[in-house]
Amino acid sequence: MDKISFFSADYRDGRVHIGDKSYPAGTFAAHLLTQYYINDTATRIIVFTSDTWLIEGTLEKGYLFVPNFLRAGADILNIFNALPWLKPFDMLDVDAERNRIAALFTEENGNRIVEYFQRRSKVMAMDKGQTMFNILPKEFDEDFFKEAAALLSEVKKTLAFYDGLRDDLMKSFEQLKTFASRVDEADRFDEEHLLPIALEIFGSVPFPVTTEYVPILKSTRSKTETLARRLYFDSYYSFVITDFFEGLHHGHYPRQCVICKKYFLMTSAARQKYCTGYAPFKLKGKAITCRKYAARINRKELADGNPVIRIYKNRCSAIRVERQRVKIDNALATAALALAKEYMQLAKNDPDYANGQYETDMSRERLYAEADRRLNDK
């Protein structure tokens, strides 16, 4: 096992692709900030990695108590009860990793490692005469030593990864939370003004990341491929902080909602203070969004700070430009403008839609395809 192979992501044009799904870069950094305390996600992961370092220490010294080895495997398996709550683990092949852990931390493998240490000690205790004439003790078996050394290496790397997960969660959460609390120090919310704050918090420590270039489809509907960088991560910290900086490079950054205190991902330089999720308060017994609640208490933002309105205005402007340049005909432009308004009004009244499908529906190709379909159905 050269790396935890399921830990990889493809980055291209400000988006991260994992499996068959695509998200704005920075999504997973913002997700960690919100998910950290929900269902005690971090605590459930951290508590079961607190003793794995003890096994790492004994293996480095060359001995192993098999019951502790089995307990370490059981503790790692318990992590998987909470791990799927934390993105991107919910989208990765967690079942395959769980099966790998179960097959790795068995009594048979523990006894094999113990036997390897015992046999290796006989080799290391060879006297000068044996060493001079290369007379190996009867305990040496080349095939057994190769297999046992590979097993030991995989066990060590696995323990290091899951032991590191505890520190990775705590460190990345505290750093990202600090960044979100200092966003308003910037004169403008773009890479030029936010990067100095980020570098002051995170520093410039290099991450152990393996890179290769792979072809991916330009979009879900496209048949044309383009190159993306596939990054393999040796730790959760390197993944989530890489995601943060990839997002920051494209103007994406995490922000905390003033009303509900949850974190959300900004994808523009707008001065948006409120998320589009539900407020922790109700109005006349009905749920209300943070934005609407803020408006009721006279804390209304500028319309340009509303991502729903911003996406709508940008798309309508692009449609009008294409109509003027005769890239689309008047009928399609009119239908697309009406459809965009329909989606915008739906997003204003449905936070789940606004936070999920809305931006995809407002994409150029999706909007034109649906508008064309409706025209043809008339």
Total count of residues recorded for the chain: 378
* Amino acid in position 107: E
Cis amide leading into 206 (omega within 30): no
Write down the pLDDT at residue 248.
Answer: 94
HSE, side-chain direction, 13 A CA sphere, residue 54: 14
Write out the two tokens for 7.
Answer: 């830990």
Separation CA 228–CA 91 (nearest Å)? 19
Write down the pLDDT at residue 2.
Answer: 42
Instruction: Give me the residue label for tokens 């329909």.
Output: 342
Separation CA 18–CA 10 (nearest Å)? 6
**Got the DSSP string for 194-215?**
HHHHHHHHHTTPPP-EEEEEEE
The count of other CB atoms within 10 Å of the CB of residue 21 is 10
Write down the pLDDT at residue 22.
Answer: 87
Q: Over the stretch 80-117, which tens digit does the pLDDT of each residue have?
A: 888 889 988 887 778 888 999 999 999 999 999 999 99
Partnered with residue 292 across adjacent β-strands are none
Those residues with Cβ within 8 angstroms of residue 126's Cβ, 6 or more apart along the chain or in another chain:
135, 136, 137
Beta strands in the chain (DSSP E): 8-12, 15-18, 21-24, 209-217, 225-233, 253-256, 263-266, 278-283, 286-289
Dihedral over alpha carbons 171, 240, 98, 116 (to 10 degrees): -60
Q: Over the stretch 13-43, which tens digit does the pLDDT of each residue have?
A: 899 988 778 899 999 999 999 999 998 888 8
Separation CA 106–CA 112 (nearest Å)? 10
Write down the pLDDT at residue 5.
Answer: 47
Nearest one of 266, 274, 277, 273 to 311, comparing CA atoms = 266
**Helix or strand (DSSP H, E) at 270:** none
Write down the pLDDT at residue 293.
Answer: 81
The CA–CA distances, whole Å, from 275 to 184, 209, 300 equal 16, 33, 12
Write down the pLDDT at residue 253.
Answer: 94
Write down the pLDDT at residue 206.
Answer: 66
Write out the two tokens for 340.
Answer: 């965009």
Write out the two tokens for 300.
Answer: 């209304």
**Which residues, given as ranges, of the chain have pLDDT below 70?**
1-6, 49-51, 130, 133, 205-206, 208, 219-222, 269, 297-305, 378
Nearest one of 161, 158, 160 to 150, comparing CA atoms = 158
Write down the pLDDT at residue 18.
Answer: 87
Helices assigned H by DSSP within 11-106 = 27-35, 41-47, 52-61, 66-79, 94-104
Partnered with residue 229 across adjacent β-strands are 11, 213
Write out the two tokens for 215.
Answer: 């072809």
Write out the two tokens for 201.
Answer: 């918090």
**9 φ/ψ angles, rounded to the nearest 5 degrees:** -155, 150
Beta carbons of 266 and 51 less than 8 angstroms apart = no
HSE, side-chain direction, 13 A CA sphere, residue 64: 27
